[in-house]
Amino acid sequence: MVGPLIESGHQLGEIPMTTAFDAIIIGTGQAGPSLAKRLAAAGMKVAVVERKLFGGTCVNTGCIPTKTMIASAYAAHMARRAADFGVSTGGEVIVDMKQVKARKDLISGRNSKGVEKGLRDAANCTVYQGHACFISPKEVSVGQEVLASERIFINVGERASVPAMPGLDQIDYLTNSSMMGVDFLPEHLIIVGGSYVGLEFGQMYRRFGSEVTIVEMGPRLIQREDEDVSAAVKEILEREGIHIQLNAKCISVGRTGNTITAGLDCTEGSPEIVGSHLLLAAGRRPNTDDLGLDQAGVTYNKRGYIGVDDQLRTNVPGIWALGDCNGKGGFTHTAYNDFEIVAANLLDDDPRRVSDRILAYALYIDPPLGRAGLTEAQVRSSGKPALIGKMLMTRVGRAVEKGETDGFMKVLVDRETKELLGAAILGTGGDEVIHCILDVMYAKKPYSVIQRAVHIHPTVSELVPTMLGDLKPL
């Protein structure tokens, strides 16, 4: 169907045909495809625009491929530890990086194809492949075409930040995206950034067999976490042979033959690191700089994140922003929850809000860190009277049986309401166990609900009630 002719944003004599839709969705990350299908199923004529890979970051260059490769790295690690369990592997453990990548490509590719097929097969849904850019508050250009709608949903995600650094334009650096094409073992991987992405790649490649150096400009790794969590994670990674240089800012890079040299501004340790490859894992930035937001009048902050209200509406009526680009989440589950919030408000007369969400996420090093709610530092600085419980994983029977006793569990409770304020579970199964705490936080019930629950033996979760039975004033 051909829509009304709209002139704005185009030179006279070049007026393209405009196609009108009930809804336009820009980006097929973790919110867009589900929203497209819900709106289309509700009878709306929907356009979905994707400029690159269907499924976005999580499916192609983020969660799914990295967790698939982390599984390969874990297999290698456990094979090397086989003798600890009375198992013989018959010699050196060999990692075939081409096979590792092929397995990752298969799992990731299947997911991406599934997202694309789901959209193409959906009734009332038209898929456009190309870069979408606003030309007015109600129009988006895609190549030579113009799409118009009263409702436009932005789900454009983020990409790796590339810091301005002398010499960077002279070398082939890697990001989380280009790492997906690596099918060989880097001899020595230098990683700039000691946060979630850097640590996951660091441990993974160390286990594949690379030498790994992580350069972090702050005084500790994963600085958003409590100091005891950062310290335990550092110890775990260093024990595996990863070099970690803290308080070190990478200020220049250069290549000599097959080696890359990173120049550091640091007070201790070597001011120069020599490696074979460089991975930039120093933060993310939203894909909003080439979206034409100014033509639409949509406001964003100085880092490029789009401003939204509690129901994810931007300042322009009829334009919403979901997922990483609104700066309110940064995870796959928060992007998907953004879809649920928008769909509930638009289609179900259910006033769901972003502020109903409790912060929760995992760091997928081994052992993983599961996190929910406030950190201990945040509770302390709030001045709220609180209780704390802590237990080393060496006391958890299941961890001992599995031979995976690194880490600890920590929980914080409001001393007056008895409600759970937050938790960190760094230990085997920590990414799963955290949910028993998270669900009770959502239920707004006192911690005694978990403390009195009978958990299955032998599990890590079994010790959560025990930990809650031994709370101390913070």
Which positions touch ligand FAD (CB under 6 A)?
26-31, 49-53, 56-58, 62-63, 66-67, 131-132, 155-158, 176, 197, 287, 291, 323-324, 330-333, 335, 364
Tokens standing for residue 1: 């169907």
Q: Which of 4, 7, 25 is nearest to 312 (CA)?
A: 25
Q: Which of 287, 430, 441, 273 is nearest to 366 (CA)?
A: 430
Least CB distance from residue 97 to ligand FAD, whole Å?
Answer: 18
277 to 95, 280, 303, 458: CA distances (angstroms): 19, 10, 28, 43
Which CB, 192 or 335, lies closer to ligand FAD?
A: 335
Least CB distance from residue 416 to ligand FAD, whole Å?
Answer: 33
Tokens standing for residue 150: 């009263």
Instruction: Give the length of the chain.
Output: 474
Least CB distance from residue 218 to ligand FAD, whole Å?
Answer: 19
Least CB distance from residue 56 to ligand FAD, whole Å?
Answer: 2
* Angle at CA of residue 318, ends 317 and 323, nearest 5°: 105
Which CB, 216 or 324, lies closer to ligand FAD?
A: 324
Which CB, 62 or 465, lies closer to ligand FAD?
A: 62
Least CB distance from residue 3 to ligand FAD, whole Å?
Answer: 19
382 to 230, 386, 447: CA distances (angstroms): 21, 10, 20
Which CB, 174 or 273, lies closer to ligand FAD?
A: 174
Which CB, 323 or 427, lies closer to ligand FAD?
A: 323
Q: Which of 246, 271, 247, 273 is nearest to 260 (CA)?
A: 273
Q: Which of 266, 305, 254, 310 is nearest to 283 (CA)?
A: 305
Please, are residues 13 and 141 in contact by the beta-carbon 8 Å criterion?
no
Identify the DSSP state of 306: B
Burial class (CB in 10 A: 0-12, 13-18, 19+), 435: middle
Tokens 């079994």 sit on residue: 462
Which CB, 142 or 441, lies closer to ligand FAD?
A: 142
Backbone dihedral angles phi then psi of residue 94, each to the nearest 5 degrees? -115, 130
Which CB, 369 or 450, lies closer to ligand FAD?
A: 369
Which residue is closest to ligand FAD by CB? Answer: 157
Please, are residues 25 and 47 in contact by the beta-carbon 8 Å criterion?
yes
Q: Which of 153, 132, 145 is nearest to 316 (CA)?
A: 153
Least CB distance from residue 341 to ligand FAD, whole Å?
Answer: 13
Give all strands of the β-sheet with 369-373 in edge-to-edge order: 360-363, 369-373, 420-426, 408-414, 386-392, 472-473
Which CB, 53 or 399, lies closer to ligand FAD?
A: 53
Which CB, 47 or 246, lies closer to ligand FAD?
A: 47
Quick count: other Cβ atoms within 10 Å of Cβ 117?
11
Q: Which of 242, 203, 199, 188 is nearest to 223 (CA)?
A: 199
Which CB, 30 or 375, lies closer to ligand FAD?
A: 30
Concatenate the DSSP letters of all residues of 223-291 into one string: TTS-HHHHHHHHHHHHHTT-EEE-SEEEEEEEEETTEEEEEEEESSS-SEEEESEEEE-S-EEETTTTS
Least CB distance from residue 156 to ligand FAD, whole Å?
Answer: 4
Least CB distance from residue 195 to ligand FAD, whole Å?
Answer: 11
Least CB distance from residue 324 to ligand FAD, whole Å?
Answer: 4
Least CB distance from residue 134 to ligand FAD, whole Å?
Answer: 9
- Cα separation, 280 vs 430, in Å, equals 27
Which CB, 197 or 343, lies closer to ligand FAD?
A: 197
Least CB distance from residue 431 to ligand FAD, whole Å?
Answer: 9
